[in-house]
């Protein structure tokens, strides 16, 4: 089979995802199993991958999917426990009491608090928290949804305690001879390499994301303000830039010095502390608070069918007590990841492994106690006693968490299985490289040294169709690694562009838009939302491509 033909055939699994999700408009729970079937057929019938290798890839993917779902469950359960205890209501009211200016409220709640929630929980949870909160205090539903979606860009690479890199990219690259040989030559382990990717991605995000608060404020004031001008947003440019830096500087430093699990969490917490202090001091604040027009004048398209109300905080729930579970979570995760402490070794000592699955070279391993979900569950237990909760409150939180897991399981599980069959297709009777590497050879032949301009766009396509930065990284990491090797650009840079683009895709991916709109009854206006958010995505991709190209040229 020729290089061109192999590259075109290797596109079929990706095209099947796009066709089913975007063209046929099937839900992800149907589209991803369908794409898995297409991938398995291409692997078996065209690539000639033995059936036992396909079966082993499915087992390996099942283990990875179970680990990710365990993390999702832990994150959602903690969030629901804090809602049941009243902690979230206290956090909400403490944030709202800071300023009457809608622009300032939006930056604090959407940009900083939303980024922190993304870092701790991921998987669309900022919309569940921030959108109803903004609407309840007087924001138009459309403005609230747009704000929550715009901030999905910068923190998403490190969402859910680094899941898109620690699990998504590891699953996309792990066990691949081409990757292993390159890393051995550079004396790097896979997780060390992924940490380097995270550092470079954080620097790219910091350069682009620092301006997101300003872009957000200008967008909202122009679309929802009196007269529809940008002036009201630009008037607050100093505060917007300081709020941007308050998040991105600690975010980037955390990625460089601590690793990919904590940047969004620490950036959000530190950014909140700095920005709240600035607001309380009255620094960089407007003379006259900016407000939306009178609600009676709002067009119908601005409002949703649901108007959330703020819950009354329970007596005795202080701000410190409400925030303490998240502080404990961050502390426990940091302690469990430090090589200087024995805790990491203890947690990793419980290890399950299945090597040589079905007589293949494929293996599946898991260290369940070391997964972030274990820390989530530990903090849930501590919170139960700390917040003096009742058993029925815990049961209610559990009941709210399981349906979310059920909605995620089929789509995410099928996507992970598809990615492993796609990646493990290097053992075949056709004498071809794996499908991602065949695709990479074709792409590198066409794009050559200009690939850094387009690498982020591939990541965006993955998250747009699959609804997840994690899945995008699984599907395309090996492909991007192969292109980088072929054109002589450092793979770490291209993979950083991959995950930055995937995070930008989170702004407009169908599942995120639907989830955010549903919280305030805006369903049916997803197309309008996507069109309004496209300028943010174009800004993110364009700047990422330009910076990536300059970086590649300077590094070469």
pLDDT number for residue 318: 94
| pLDDT-based confidence at residue 75 (cuts at 50, 70, 90) | confident
What pLDDT score was predicted for residue 79?
83
Per-residue model confidence as pLDDT tens digits over 105-143: 999 999 999 999 999 888 778 887 888 889 878 899 999
Q: What is the pLDDT of residue 553?
A: 94
The band of 400, judged by pLDDT with boundaries at 50, 70 and 90, is confident
In sequence order, the 6+-apart residues with CB closer than 8 A to the CB of 64 are: 167, 171, 364, 416, 420
Which pLDDT tens digit goes with each residue over 473-512? 988 999 999 999 999 999 999 999 999 999 999 998 867 8
- Among residues 157, 61, 74, 79, the alpha carbon closest in space to that of 371 is found at 74
Q: Which residues contact 525 (CB under 8 A, 6 or more apart)?
A: 142, 301, 517
Question: Angle 391-423/28-41 helices, nearest 10 degrees?
Answer: 30
Give me the percent of the chain exceeding a pLDDT of 90.
63
Q: Where are the domains of the chain?
A: 3-288+301-555
- Among 23-27, 85-89, 131-135, 448-452, the minimum mean pLDDT is found in 23-27
Q: Are 140 and 521 in contact (CB under 8 A)?
A: no
Half-sphere exposure of 138 (CA within 13 A, CB side): 13
Please report the pLDDT score of residue 18 as a whole number. Answer: 79
Given this model, what pLDDT does residue 188 score?
A: 94
Rounded distance between C-alpha atoms, residue 79 and residue 66, angstroms: 20
Confidence of residue 556 (pLDDT cuts 50, 70, 90): low
Reply yes or no on whether the pLDDT at 309 is more than 80.
Answer: no
Per-residue pLDDT of 153-185, as tens digits, reads 999 999 989 999 999 999 899 888 889 999 999
- For residues 333, 334, 337, 340, the Cα torsion angle rounded to the nearest 10 degrees is -140
Residue 92, pLDDT > 70, answer yes
- For residue 241, pLDDT over 90 is answered with yes
Q: Is 443 exposed, middle or buried (0-12, 13-18, 19+ CB in 10 A)?
A: buried
């Amino acid at each position: 089979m020729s290089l061109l033909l192999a590259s075109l055939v290797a596109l079929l699994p990706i095209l099947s995802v796009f066709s089913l999700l975007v063209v046929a408009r099937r839900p992800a729970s149907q589209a991803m199993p369908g794409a898995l079937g297409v991938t398995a057929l291409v692997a078996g019938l065209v690539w000639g991958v033995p059936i036992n290798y396909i079966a082993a890839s499915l087992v390996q993917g099942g283990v990875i999917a179970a680990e990710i779902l365990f993390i999702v469950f832990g994150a959602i359960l903690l969030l629901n426990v804090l809602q049941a205890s009243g902690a979230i209501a206290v956090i909400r009211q403490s944030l709202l009491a800071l300023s009457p200016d809608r622009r300032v409220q939006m930056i604090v709640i959407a940009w900083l608090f939303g980024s922190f929630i993304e870092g701790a929980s991921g998987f669309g949870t900022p919309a569940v928290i921030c959108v109803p909160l903004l609407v309840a205090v007087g924001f138009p539903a459309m403005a609230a949804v747009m704000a929550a979606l715009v901030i999905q860009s910068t923190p998403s690479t490190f969402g859910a305690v680094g899941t898109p890199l620690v699990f998504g990219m590891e699953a996309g690259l792990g066990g691949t001879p081409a990757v292993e040989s390159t890393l051995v030559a550079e004396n790097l382990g896979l997780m060390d390499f992924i940490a380097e990717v995270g550092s470079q991605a954080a620097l790219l995000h910091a350069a682009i994301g620092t301006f997101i608060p300003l872009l957000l404020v200008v967008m909202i004031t122009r679309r929802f303000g009196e007269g529809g001008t940008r002036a009201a947003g630009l008037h607050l440019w100093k505060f917007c830039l300081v709020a941007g830096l308050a998040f991105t500087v600690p975010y980037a430093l955390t990625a460089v010095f601590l690793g990919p699990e904590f940047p969004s969490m620490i950036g959000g917490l530190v950014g909140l502390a700095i920005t709240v202090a600035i607001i309380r001091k009255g620094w960089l604040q407007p003379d006259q608070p900016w407000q939306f027009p009178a609600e009676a004048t709002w067009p119908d398209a601005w409002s949703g069918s649901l108007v959330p109300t703020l819950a009354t905080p329970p007596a005795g729930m202080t701000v410190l007590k409400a925030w303490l579970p998240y502080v404990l979570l961050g502390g426990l995760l940091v302690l469990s990841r430090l090589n200087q402490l024995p805790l990491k070794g203890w947690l990793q000592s419980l290890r399950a492994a299945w090597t040589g699955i079905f007589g293949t070279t494929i293996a599946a391993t898991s260290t369940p106690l070391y997964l972030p979900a274990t820390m989530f569950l530990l903090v849930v237990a501590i919170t139960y006693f700390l917040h003096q909760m009742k058993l029925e409150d815990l049961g209610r939180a559990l009941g709210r968490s399981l349906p979310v897991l059920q909605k995620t399981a089929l789509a995410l599980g099928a996507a992970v299985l598809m990615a492993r069959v796609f990646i493990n297709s290097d053992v075949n009777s056709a004498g071809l490289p794996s499908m991602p590497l065949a695709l990479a050879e074709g792409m590198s032949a066409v794009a050559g040294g200009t690939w850094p301009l387009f690498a982020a766009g591939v990541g965006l396509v993955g998250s747009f169709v699959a609804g997840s930065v994690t899945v995008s990284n699984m599907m395309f990491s090996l492909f991007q690694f192969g292109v980088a090797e072929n054109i002589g650009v450092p793979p770490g840079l291209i993979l950083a562009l991959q995950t930055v683009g995937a995070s930008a895709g989170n702004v407009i991916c169908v599942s995120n838009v639907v989830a955010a709109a549903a919280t305030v009854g805006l369903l049916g206006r997803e197309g309008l939302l996507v069109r309004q958010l496209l300028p943010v995505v174009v800004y993110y991709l364009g700047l990422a491509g330009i910076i990536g190209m300059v970086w590649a040229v300077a590094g070469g």
